[in-house]
Structure 1
Amino acid sequence: MTTASTPHVYFIGAGPGDPELITLKGINAIKRCQTVIYAGSLVAPEILEHCLPGAHIHNSASMNLEEILAVMAAATRQGQSVARLHTGDPSIYGAIQEQMAELDKLGIAYTVIPGVTAVFAAAAALRTELTSPEQSQTLVISRIAGRTPVPQDEEVARLTSHGGTFCFYLSVDRFGDIARQFLDQGWSPQTPVAMVYRASWPDELIRRGTLADMAAQIADSGVNKHAVVIIGKPLGAIGAYSKLYDREFSHGTRP
């Protein structure tokens, strides 16, 4: 069992950008760590204000896996705990699995602290519910294949055979390809689409449109990274109201 004094690595979801969108648990972990590794410009610099005075701070933007692990190993050998700050939530495109696998080999203890991922910050900015009654009860988070491939059975053309709300990370520069595959699978050209650039940051940018016109809007905006694209009916007109608060709907706490 790990004790409070045992050197530890904390993988912390630092949130999508707004420095207040990090959990109290994440902040408290940062305050216990003498070494901090953070994900470059993707993590709000204000979050580093929670670091201990004199903490060793490393920007992982230019580091490879071996260099990151070397910092973690050196710190823990010296009895120091490490805060590894990832943007958003580390379980979504966070590349933490390989880090944890290597820490297991080294016998270094670690904990994952969840964070707010960009799609939820985007939904808040859009003031929309992603799982709207009678419109969508499924949320699909994916990306289009690029330098990092996706499994064949998760390619966009296959995903579009299902209904639901779709959120694409790391794909805004290829939205034309995404839209074409949705349209080829029979989706309406008028299906609502939204693009949110740097959700929750001061320079956040929102574009709303449809499968038919969003590619042109994205091109006009000049955005080619740091954005999520959401596709689905909940972005349009409101559907049915939820049964949860319907006065005629009974459940365990309301007869």
Structure 2
Amino acid sequence: MVNFVGAGSGAVDLITVRGQKLLSEADVIIYAGSLVNPELLEYKKEGCEVHNSAKMTLEEVIEVILKAEKENKMTVRLHTGDPSIYGAIREQMDVLDKHNVEYKVCPGVSSFCGAASALNLEYTLPDVSQTVIITRMVGRTSVPEKEEISKLAAHNATMVVFLSTGLLEKLQERLVVGGYKENTTAAIVYKATWDDEKVVRCTVSTLAESAKKNGITKTALIIVGDVLSSEYSRSDLYNPKFTTEFRKGIE
């Protein structure tokens, strides 16, 4: 049995209760060593076999899993944040399907949630933005042409940009080309929920400058949108005049 487990956004106590339990029961742990907090490995049981996937290929990961399966051992594949976002889990699942290996997924707290908590931010404010776009810049990994940053920017929705800290000059250019104003509020959140978390508030036009000034070159999320600064409308849900299934509004 293989369990894909979301390690959470960084802080050790942000792994789910289920994820912690699976870690403590695992016979084999394969963890994304470049991003997962190594303190999580303290939950492992004595004798647990541990592999750092930062130094492994997909084929090597699968080899470890298949060996564990032959020995009737339970494997935890520990991914950063939530495995469903930039976790490269589908390619692992497809190979496991071919080998008839059973697996399950345990969700985790994504870093984009951690970044919101660092900013005390609600991504979806009434009459400001009701949409969150999670994306990345084109780098060594390609992005479909239809999802090029400037095309997504045309919506002026809340945007969370992963894996792009080293491309901020190009990012801010594409955001403006797409429709964000240069003075649109933005933020850089470095290592959200980790002990060395850093939050830098800026604008679209000062993203690159702000990151350089604060020595941020990687492991950060970029948040862009008016939700960082705009006035907003009160939620209807808690408005005394609004009738819901559970409460009759005051006329």
Q: TM-score range by the shorter chain?
A: over 0.9
Q: Is the 8 A contact 2:188 2:200 kept in 1?
A: yes
| Equivalent of residue 2 in structure 2, options 9, 12, 24 | 9
> Would you say the 8 A contact 1:138–1:163 is kept in 2?
no
Q: Who is 1:76 aligned against?
A: 69
TM-score of the pair, normalised by structure 2: 0.96
- SS state at 1:124 partner: helix
How far is 1:240 from its partner?
A: 1.5
How far did residue 173 of structure 1 move?
1.3
Does the 8 Å CA contact 2:31/2:79 hold for their aligned counterparts? yes
Once the two structures are superposed, what CA deviation does each residue of 1:167-226 show, in whole Å capped at 9, x if it has no partner? 000001112211112212332211110000000001111100111222211111221110
Once the 2 structures are TM-superposed, how far is the Cα of residue 243 of structure 1 from its aligned partner?
A: 1.2
- Per the TM alignment, residue 137 of structure 1 is displaced from its structure 2 partner at its CA by 0.1
The amino acid of 1:51's aligned partner reads K
Over aligned residue pairs, what C-alpha RMSD do you find? Answer: 1.0
| Cα distance in 2, alignment partners of residues 186 and 17 from structure 1 | 33
CA distance in 2, matches of 1:109, 1:34: 16
Q: Identical aligned pairs, as a percentage?
A: 42
* 8 Å contact from structure 1 (residues 90, 115) kept in 2: yes
Could you tell me how far apart the structure 1 residues matched to 2:25 and 2:14 are? 19
What are structure 1's unaligned runs of at least 5 residues?
A: 1-7
* Unpaired runs of at least 5, structure 2: none
Q: Does the 8 A contact of 2:150 with 2:179 survive in 1? A: no
Does residue 200 of the first structure (1) align with residue 193 of the second (2)?
yes
Alpha-carbon separation, structure 2, partners of 1:201 and 1:52: 24
Deviating above 6 A after TM superposition, structure 1's stretches of 4 or more consecutive aligned residues are: none
Alignment: residue pair count: 248
Q: Secondary structure at the match of 2:78?
A: strand
Deviations 1:141-175 (A, max 9, x none): 00000110000100011111113100000001112
Equivalent residue for 1:90?
Answer: 83
SS across alignment from 1:246: coil
Tell me, yes or no, if the aligned pair for 2:134 and 2:162 is still in contact at 8 Å: yes
